[in-house]
């Protein structure tokens, strides 16, 4: 038997090796900054290998192409930013256990495998690697009841959704006799058992919808986002979500291409429900983390629109949106991390009253991210939404774009309320509002805010890049 071509797999292999090395190094190196730096170097090495890894191996089970690379860059970026905001934060939360960084890396590795999966088995394994690591991370503050509660909820519902995914995979396997994603559509068509095919598609969609928190499979998200350590919330709200979109793009747009009319209808229903529930419940939230959780649900609803558009343009718009979302959402969470100090968590609207008085820079950053999340030009959020809606209109879903714009207008209410609380109110008595001064956190804020503005002002290269890797 020939040795399989490992070239396409090299980034993952290297990344795994480095993750294990970091795990070992943590036994000896006490300085968390050093460990963080090692992770960042590992990420850089991996990112360097990705463009050289293009190819298909293990008879189509593992695909490294432009599409997967784009997502891998999002995952690695997500990892770097998470590391930057974590270093001081987890010390404040007294959760600086050694495995934190390694588990983050494993989770990212799972996402990378998902993005490259050409086979349902590989997809499942990547998904579980990502999910299991994230369960651990959500409960990383062991002594905190809220953190463990969120881990428990995430775990139970995540395992439930995995079981449903497996049932769907089993059905697809039974109907086609293969687990190769690329062959699904034609074999399903040949088989002709439409009822069972729809059944299988629904099952798979439910599981993916769970990962990207589509209503009504979103129920875990608010509780888990609120309870998890803030740095992990930032990580979870971007990475697993992007990974979910990566597999949705692969499985639905290429694997189940022949059934596009069917899954489109289902996704339209889900996306409207998602935008509605996410935006409407967010209005009622006074806890910022929870508000951002609902906002993240709503944004998944927008991002799905690109998949619904169902063409290269739409998919690239979704990818572009995810990249932009990574910057603006991690940025917003970074500001929350910035506000966490030894004495108290600053998490509610009441606590940030008059923040602009004491911390003009932190408030200005929050303002940029809130504007971007609302989609106000010239921030990146506007560009992202613009291309999504444009793709949607061009593929004939004008009415859906209008619905999305309406919900987007509703979202202005709760995003701009944050700005209002920061700028229009006097600070309350007894709220200290000391802020963290960690340099890595500052770097993360600098990167995210600059990118949010840069993409907003000069979107062309990013948009073209996403188009290029898809087309």
Residue of 100, 135, 333, 369 interacting with another protein (CB under 8 A): 135
- 148 scored as a contact of another protein (CB under 8 A): yes
Closer Cβ to another protein, 8 or 139, answer by number:
139
Closest to 285 in 3D by CA, of 300, 273, 298: 298
What would the x/- binding string for another protein be over residues 244 to 273, using CB under 8 A? -----------------xx--xx--xx---
- 17 scored as a contact of another protein (CB under 8 A): no
How many of the other CB atoms lie within 10 Å of CB of 284?
10
Residue of 76, 203, 300, 308 interacting with another protein (CB under 8 A): 203
Task: With beta carbons less than 8 A apart as the criterion, state whether 335 and 366 touch.
Answer: yes
Shortest separation between residue 323's beta carbon and another protein, angstroms: 17
Shortest separation between residue 285's beta carbon and another protein, angstroms: 8
- 396 scored as a contact of another protein (CB under 8 A): no
Shortest separation between residue 377's beta carbon and another protein, angstroms: 9
Residue 13: C-alpha distances to residues 62, 174, 253, 341 (Å): 13, 32, 28, 38
Shortest separation between residue 172's beta carbon and another protein, angstroms: 10
How many of the other CB atoms lie within 10 Å of CB of 370?
26
- 357 scored as a contact of another protein (CB under 8 A): no
Closer Cβ to another protein, 115 or 203, answer by number:
203
- For residues 197 and 174, give the distance between their C-alpha atoms in angstroms, rounded to a whole number: 10
- 160 scored as a contact of another protein (CB under 8 A): yes
Closer Cβ to another protein, 69 or 271, answer by number:
271
Burial 104-131 (b: 16+ CB within 10 A, else e): bbbbbbbbbbbbbbbbbebbbebbbbbb
Closer Cβ to another protein, 51 or 174, answer by number:
174
Which residues contact residue 405 at a Cβ distance below 8 angstroms, ignoring those fewer than 6 apart? 389
Closest to 148 in 3D by CA, of 95, 209, 109, 106: 95
Burial 373-406 (b: 16+ CB within 10 A, else e): bbbbeebbbbbbbbbbbebbeebebeebbebbee
Count of residues that interact with another protein, criterion CB under 8 A: 81
Residue of 98, 390, 442, 454 interacting with another protein (CB under 8 A): 390
Residue of 413, 420, 432, 468 interacting with another protein (CB under 8 A): 413
- 4 scored as a contact of another protein (CB under 8 A): no
- 211 scored as a contact of another protein (CB under 8 A): no
- Transcribe 189-233 into DSSP letters: HHH--HHHHHHHHHHHHHHHHHHTT-TTS-THHHHHHHHS-HHHH
Closer Cβ to another protein, 77 or 305, answer by number:
305
């Amino acid at each position: 038997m020939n040795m399989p071509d490992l070239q396409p797999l090299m980034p993952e292999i290297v990344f795994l090796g480095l993750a294990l090395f970091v795990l070992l190094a943590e036994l000896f190196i006490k300085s968390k900054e050093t460990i963080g730096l090692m992770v960042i170097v590992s990420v850089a090495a991996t990112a360097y290998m990705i463009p050289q890894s293009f190819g298909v191996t293990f008879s189509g089970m593992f695909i490294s192409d432009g599409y997967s690379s784009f997502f891998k860059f999002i995952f690695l970026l997500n990892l770097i930013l998470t590391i930057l905001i974590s270093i001081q934060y987890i010390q404040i939360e007294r959760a600086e256990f050694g495995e934190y960084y390694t588990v983050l890396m494993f989770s990212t590795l799972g996402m990378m495998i998902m993005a490259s999966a050409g086979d349902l088995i590989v997809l499942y394994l990547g998904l579980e690697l990502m999910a299991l690591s994230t369960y651990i991370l959500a409960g990383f503050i062991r002594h905190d009841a809220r953190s463990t509660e969120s881990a428990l909820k995430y775990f139970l519902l995540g395992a439930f959704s995995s079981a449903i995914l497996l049932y769907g995979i089993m059905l697809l396997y039974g109907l086609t006799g293969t687990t190769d994603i690329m062959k699904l559509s034609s074999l399903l068509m040949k088989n002709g058992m439409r009822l069972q095919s729809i059944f299988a598609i629904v099952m798979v969609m439910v599981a993916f919808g769970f990962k990207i928190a589509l209503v009504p499979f979103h129920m875990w998200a608010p509780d888990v986002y609120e309870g998890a350590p803030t740095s992990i919330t930032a990580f979870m709200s971007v990475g697993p979500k992007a990974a979910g979109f990566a597999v949705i793009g692969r499985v639905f747009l290429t694997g189940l291409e022949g059934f596009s009319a069917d899954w489109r209808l289902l996704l339209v229903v889900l996306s409207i429900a998602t935008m509605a529930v996410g935006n409407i419940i967010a209005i009622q939230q006074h806890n910022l983390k929870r508000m951002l959780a609902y906002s993240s649900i709503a944004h998944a609803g927008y991002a799905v629109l690109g998949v619904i558009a169902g063409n290269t343009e739409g998919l690239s718009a979704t990818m572009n949106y995810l990249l932009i979302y990574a910057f603006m959402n991690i940025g917003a969470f970074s500001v929350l991390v910035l506000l966490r100090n030894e004495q108290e968590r600053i998490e509610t609207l009441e606590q940030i009253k008059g923040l602009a008085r004491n911390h003009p820079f932190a408030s200005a950053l929050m303002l940029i991210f809130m504007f971007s999340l609302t989609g106000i030009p010239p921030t990146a959020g506007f560009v992202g939404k613009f291309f999504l809606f444009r793709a949607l209109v061009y593929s004939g879903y004008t009415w859906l774009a209008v619905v999305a714009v309406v919900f987007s207008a509703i979202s202005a209410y709760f995003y701009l309320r944050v700005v209002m609380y920061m700028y229009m109110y006097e600070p309350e008595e007894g709220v200290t509002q000391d802020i963290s001064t960690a340099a890595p956190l500052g770097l993360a804020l600098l990167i995210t805010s600059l990118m949010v503005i840069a993409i907003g002002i000069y979107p062309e290269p990013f948009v073209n890049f996403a188009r290029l890797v898809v087309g």
